[in-house]
Amino acid sequence: MEEAGAAKAKGTEAPSPTTTAMASTSSSWVVEMEKLLGVSEGGSSGQSSVVAQMVRQQEGHSIYRVPEYIKDMTNRKAYEPQLVSLGPFHYGEPPLLPMEVHKRRAVAHMVNRSGKPLQKFVSAVEEISEQLRNAYENLDETKWPEQRFVELMVTDGCFSLEIMRTLKAHGKVAEEDYGPKDPVFSQHGWLHVLDHIMSDMVVMENQSEI
């Protein structure tokens, strides 16, 4: 009360708590915006490292999630894989989990045929992991630390190549190392399963960048 009285005596009023809070919020906003704008302490401006990083990331994106409003306008299932997940966006969804064992089998068979150790494949993907990660818009960094992401790319990459190999040979060549009754990589798989897998491979959100 004494402060207010003194302020009035001088012809001014003490700022209210609301005014002070608004000024503080405004100052914080200005600071954040200046960081984005690249404004230096001297007042000069230029593209900030934050903006430059955002631009680089956006330029690298090639795999996006379909906006929810578009899904709501049409058939949502048309934007979801039905049998197998490729890439991180749909990984771990319960209906797709049974195919994970076949994806791992694909890695084992491909590595064995190559005559090279698995680590060679992993190292090759690690060299381009940053580029691969940046391909996915809004990738959850906490869910996909680097090593887990690399493992996913190796697995999905090998699986995709084995599917292409099986498809090209109508399932016959793959039977040489998978067996004639293999549920996926055989003539049986070519006739009954591969069409569904190929449909999933063209779903927009269900893409492996490698």
Residue with more model confidence, 182 or 21: 182
pLDDT score of 197:
98
Look at 21-35, 116-130, 155-169 and tell me which has the smallest mean pLDDT. 21-35
Q: What whole-number percentage of the chain has pLDDT above 70?
A: 76
Digit-coded pLDDT (tens) for 54-104: 555 556 788 999 999 999 998 999 999 999 999 999 999 999 999 999 999
Tokens of 34: 């200046």
- Assess contact for 183 and 193: CB atoms under 8 A: yes
Read off the pTM: 0.74
**Average pLDDT estimate for 121-140:** 95
Question: Token pair 């631009």 is at which residue?
Answer: 55
pLDDT score of 149:
98
Residue 11, pLDDT > 70, answer no
Tokens of 7: 């302020």
CA dihedral 55, 151, 170, 185 (to 10 degrees): -150
Q: What whole-number percentage of the chain has pLDDT above 90?
A: 61
